[in-house]
Structure 1
Amino acid sequence: MFNLTVGRSVAGAAFAGVLAALAVTPSAQAETLKLAHWVPPAHTLTASTIEPLKNGVEASSGGGLTIDVYPGGELGRGPLEQYVRAVQGVADITWGLQGYTSSQFPKTMVSELPGVLPDGKAGYEILWDAYDAGQISGEFPGTVPLALWLSEPNIFIMKDRDIRKPEDLKGLKIRVSGAAAAAVIEALGATPVQMPAPEIYNALQTGLIDGVVTGASAVTDFKLDEVANSYTIGAPLGRISFYLVMNKAKYDGLSDDFKKAIDDNSGRKLSASAEAGWNAKANSTIEALKASGDNTVIELSDAEIDAFGALTIPVTEKIVTGAGAEDVLATMSGQ
């Protein structure tokens, strides 16, 4: 009887010890990351970027590492403050546009300029090439980039204005997302107005701006077809760059298994998914605009494209030289 009791006591103590060890082993503890952004759940971002990351990480970690998503500015509404929210740990992961805080990303912004993306290469590839070469990595302090990618080509989205040649823009107020697009619009003789995407609808509706330069996907994502009625496709206007970043201290504090779950479902793989989603939405949007019957969709001829390019392409060299980013341009353009 004495031996049996002792045996049970020892076994019970051993089992309790195992439980205690598990309770304090970081790799065994479930963790949840907060991912914040400022657009509605129906935005292209969800299916192209958030769901692949969330589903992939949770599957790879066996459910041990989960991601809770806070859309529509639930953790802070300002689109311009998204990067800071990741650095400060308000959210563990945030999405945003480099152009909204262009001064932080002078070399990354080279990717947005006309003529930089080579034919046959994806936007995310040139961004990661420059990042891996150490040429733009310093512009992402305090974070680990999970995805970097470019939008589809920018187009003109106008209200009651048809744009067929550069002269059509003289004196107009055109919304842009960042410094690169602003320089392009100035070269065309218009006045750039920088504002976050959620403000475009009202600005276009009320006449605060005459038009917008951005990708066609924004027409659907922000319902711009309700206030715009003329679209010009083909002018070399550059693109828009995006990031999905994670707080570096949070990433560093994860177990090796959880870090691997993040690594296996981010980087170029996630960036490719994001960019494909933007391009697919842009293509379907343009087809819908053509089919609607109540829009003017202008597809520029080669000669008309060249007329715009004569003014916009030189902007690229000027900005690259001013930023001392010749090495970045060489990497991104494959030189």
Structure 2
Amino acid sequence: MIKRLIAAGVFATLVAGTADATTLKLSHQFSEGDVRNKVAQMIADDVKAANVDLDIQIYPNQTLFKAREQYTPLSRGQLDMTILPLSYAGGQRPEYNLTLMPGLVKNLDHGNRLAHSPFMADIEKILNEDDVKTLVHGYLAGGFGSTKNCITKPADVKGLTIRAAGKSFEIMLASAGASISSMASSEIYSALQTGVLDAANTSSESFLSYRLYEQLKCYTPAGDTALWFMYQPLLINKTTFDDLTPAQQKALTDASAKAETWYLEQAKLGDAETTKAFEKAGVKIATMSQADFDEWREIAKKSSYPAFVKSTPDGQKLLDEALAVQ
């Protein structure tokens, strides 16, 4: 009888522990094979292994919220966590458009320095005002893909209908003569397939995970010279984080620090992996030269940069802070 009572007590304790466990919902737009989902899964696994009664439930492929609809519920506490291109929330906070600005980031290591600079500290203050907190910083590089001609220099986009992630790239590409069609990266495949788009500008990871090689004739990858870098952090509702126990907070921040290091490593590997996949699929590979890059940056300086400054409170200060990072 005593043994039965003890066993029953242990079982009741386990059930109570399970019932008391905190579950956080993490939404994102990417496929389960995408590096961004792997970052989220790595954190979820490490937090679970820490045994602090904290579980993270991941909803990939826009199964909980649409790609561009995640920031608002996150800021309102209706969503606990997300990993997303921060510029998607540029409509709510124009300052975020600077996290996807042509010619601002030179390479992934430079992007990592930018992510830990006074510039990003100011972005974090804005996030905090919206009750949002960053757990994992990360930039991803990207390139151009086209169903028609190869794209390396500004003249190549004239007359094309192109998708570009972020307002700043849209302004620059429109200045170069392209027509712009805005959509999430998860919608590019069908738009290329149906002829809504002639070309797209997105991350190497999205080019690969969405199998865009099935639709494109030419791909310009992120090589030694790359124009496109996009900040794509993993975020948490700040009140949600503050309400966790100290042990849960520590488990989450420790797991996030580990994942951030891995994220940078995988971003570097991802560019080469995507290029190989496109080559294998028979897609023509184009290369952007330094001269091409300089042409793009001159257009950006006359279009995207001043538009950002004009439309953004403290825009010049933020731009100067970002440009100061070497």
TM-score range, shorter chain: 0.7 to 0.9
Counterpart for residue 247 of structure 1: 237
CA displacement, residues 31-64 of structure 1 (integer Å, 9 cap, x when unaligned): 22222223221222122x112211222233x252
Moved more, 243-252 or 82-91: 82-91
What are the residue-to-residue correspondences of 1:59-74 with 2, within 5 Å?
59-60=49-50, 62-74=51-63
Q: Give the partner amino acid of 1:334.
A: A
Paired amino acid for 2:32: P
- Alignment partner, residue 191 of structure 2: 203
Query: Structure 2 vs 1, CA of residues 105 and 118 (structure 1 numbering), >3 Å: closer, same or farther?
Result: farther
Q: Could you tell me the percent identity over the aligned residues?
A: 24
5 Å-filtered alignment, 1:266-281, equals 266=256, 269-281=258-270
Distance 1:178 1:287, change over 3 A: same
In structure 2, the residue matched to 1:7 is: none
Distance in 2 (CA, whole Å) between partners of 1:164 and 1:238 is 12
Aligned CA RMSD, in angstroms, stands at: 3.0
Shift of 1:325: 2.4
Contact 2:161-2:198 at 8 Å conserved across structures: yes
- Deviations 1:1-33 (Å, cap 9, x if unpaired)? xxxxxxxxxxx9xxx9xx99xx7xx9x943222
Change (3 A) 1:221 1:135: closer
Aligned to 2:204: 216
Aligned to 1:191: 179
Alignment of 1:123-272 (within 5 A): 123-130=111-118, 133-140=121-128, 141-152=130-141, 154-233=142-221, 237-266=227-256, 269-272=258-261
Contact 1:124–1:272 (8 Å) recurs in 2: no
Preserved CA contact (<8 Å) 2:22 2:54: yes
Could you say if the C-alpha distance between residues 59 and 180 of structure 1 is closer, same or farther in structure 2, counting changes exceeding 3 Å?
same
1:116 aligned residue: 104
* C-alpha distance in 1 between matches for 2:120 and 2:35: 27
Cα pair distance change 1:308/1:107, threshold 3 Å = same
CA contact 1:37–1:95 (8 Å) conserved in 2: yes
- The AA in structure 2 aligned to 1:105 is R
Distance 1:251 1:257, change over 3 A: same
Per-residue deviation, 1:180:
1.6
Note the C-alpha offset of 1:191. 1.5
Distance 1:225 1:330, change over 3 A: same
Paired residue for 2:25? 34
Name the structure 2 match of 1:46.
37
Question: In 2, Cα distance between the equivalents of 1:74 and 1:182?
Answer: 27
SS at match of 2:236: strand
Tell me what 2:318 maps to: 328
CA offset at residue 280 of structure 1? 1.9
Q: Which moved more, 1:131-140 or 1:257-266?
A: 131-140
Would the alpha carbon gap of residues 309 and 100 (structure 1) be closer, same or farther in structure 2, given more than 3 Å must change?
Answer: same
Where does residue 5 of structure 1 map in the other structure? none
Partner of 2:48: 58
1:116-146 CA distances to partner (integer Å, 9 max, x unpaired)?
2256734243134246633542145122221
The two structures have a TM-score, normalised by structure 1, of: 0.81
Residue identity matched to 1:104: Q
Which whole-Å CA distance do the structure 2 matches of 1:236 and 1:318 have between them? 22
Q: Distance in 2 between matches of 1:321 and 1:265?
A: 36
CA pair 102-133 structure 1, distance change in 2 beyond 3 A? closer
Larger radius of gyration: 1
Structure 2 unaligned blocks of 5 or more:
none
**Against the structure 1 CA distance between its residues 303 and 33, is the aligned structure 2 distance closer, same or farther, given a 3 Å change threshold?**
closer
Paired with 1:74 and 1:213, the residues of 2 have a C-alpha distance of: 24
Supply the AA of the counterpart residue of 2:235.
V
Question: Secondary structure in 2 aligned to 1:51?
Answer: helix
Partner letter of residue 56 of structure 1?
D
Secondary structure of the equivalent of 2:228?
coil
